[in-house]
Every structure is written in C-alpha cells, then in structure tokens.
Chain A
Amino acid sequence: MSVDSVFVHKMWNDHELSKMVKGGVPFPMLSDGGGKVGSVYGVYLEDAGVEARGRFIIDPDGIIQGFEVLTPPVGRNILESIRQIQAFQVVRKSKGTEATPSGWKPGKMTLKPGPDLVGRVWEVWKTKMAFD
C-alpha cells in the first residue's frame, strides 16, 4: 500500500516490477490516496506526504501480532518477516502452550512455559541458539 493511485501501480508493475518478478506482483497493490489508512496505522509521514515502510502481521482473527516500521531509505528483510509468521503460526497451533525463544526457526525447539520452567530456561536454551 502506498499513496500512489492504482493507475500508477499498474504502470510500475507492468514496466518495472514484472521485470524483477516473473508474471508481475501476485498480490493486490493497494492505493491509499491522502494516506488515510496509513494515518490510522501510524505510518503516514505528513511532511513528505508518503508512507513509511510499515509491515503488519495480522492473524486469522484480524489481530495484529507484530509490526515493524522503517524510514524510507532502508529496505526490509523478507526472510525475517516469514520467520516471524512461522513462529506466530506455531504458537497459535499450540493454542498458546508453546513459545518460540530468541533465534527460533522452524525445526528448532520451542519452550513450554509453566511452573517447571521458571528459572530453568538456562538448562534447555543456550545463548548460542540465538545466533545459529
């Protein structure tokens, strides 16, 4: 979503993005003229008249589980967004009985918070697991 019109979105997709992604952009390119939606989400930069790089992860109940907002010059890390979605999906599937520690990736161990784990995380989770 950006403040550009759907007509500009079409031109950008057809003339540039389709040269980067085969078949063009598969998902809807949303238009937010005037930044009305961006204002509600807190990402509309009034002085510049554009929207910051806001990324919101919304679960199947319509609840915001996470967001990240960057100023325009720095691009996002898509793999990190995907990792976060995978983590939120694991937590949701477990109905909140599992949590994903720092550095979690699919296949790595989760934590099962409960009375037995209090003060004993150090036994099952090592600092290096945040970095591997």
Chain B
Amino acid sequence: MAKEMKVGCARPTGGPVGEAVIEATGGKTQQPQQKEVRQMVTVGKKAPDFTAPAYQKGKFIEVKLSEYLGKWVVLCFYPGDFTFV
C-alpha cells in the first residue's frame, strides 16, 4: 500500500491532491472574476484526499488517504510532537 520513501536533506512534504471546489464569488458584477478555492469539510461529504510523508515502525513512507478506501480511517491532527497532552 504505502510506498517507502528515500529521504534526503530536504524535508519531505505532501499536501492536498485532486480537485478543489472552486467557487466564483462576486455574483453578476462586472469585476474581474474573483475565484476562491475552498474545500468543504462536512459530514456526509467526501474527505479531501491528500498525500503525506509519514514515519511508521522504523520506516519513512508516503501515505495517500485514497489508498485506504474500503477501510475505516481515523484521521487525527494534534498540535505538536513533544508537547504535553
């Protein structure tokens, strides 16, 4: 599933993948179209896909959320390593 990553000196990074919801704002005014990229996170809606580098059991891997389709996933965010709670 998740493939192992070669790591160099650069910090591995990931980010959102796939289409963002592009919403035109400003209605029917003559202003140049202002586009706001906003991805909706709501219950009952698709979880936005992303890739992220990860550490798991001695290995650096790359994780893609959509590779977990078919399984229940708990995605947890937290403020930081070596903090207290």
Contacts and interface: CB of A to CB of B under 8 A. Distances in A.
Interface of A: 1-13, 16, 24-34, 36-38, 40-43, 48, 50-67, 72-76, 81, 85, 88-89
Contact of B53 (A31, A76, A85): A31
**Interface residues of chain B: helix, strand, loop or mixed (majority):** loop
Contacts, number: 167
Q: How large is the interface on B (under 10, 10 to 19, 20 to 34, 35 or more residues)?
A: 35 or more
A54 B74 contact: no
A57 B72 contact: yes
Interface of B: 2, 7, 11-16, 20, 39, 41-50, 52-57, 60-61, 63, 65-66, 68-83, 85
B81 A9 contact: yes
B78 to A, nearest CB: 5
Contacts of B41: 40-42, 56, 64, 67
Given A50-B80, A58-B47, A74-B85, A40 B39 contact: yes
A73 B83 CA distance: 10
Which of B20, B44, B76 has the most chain A CB atoms inside 10 A of its CB? Answer: B76
Given A27-B56, A40-B50, A33 B11 contact: yes
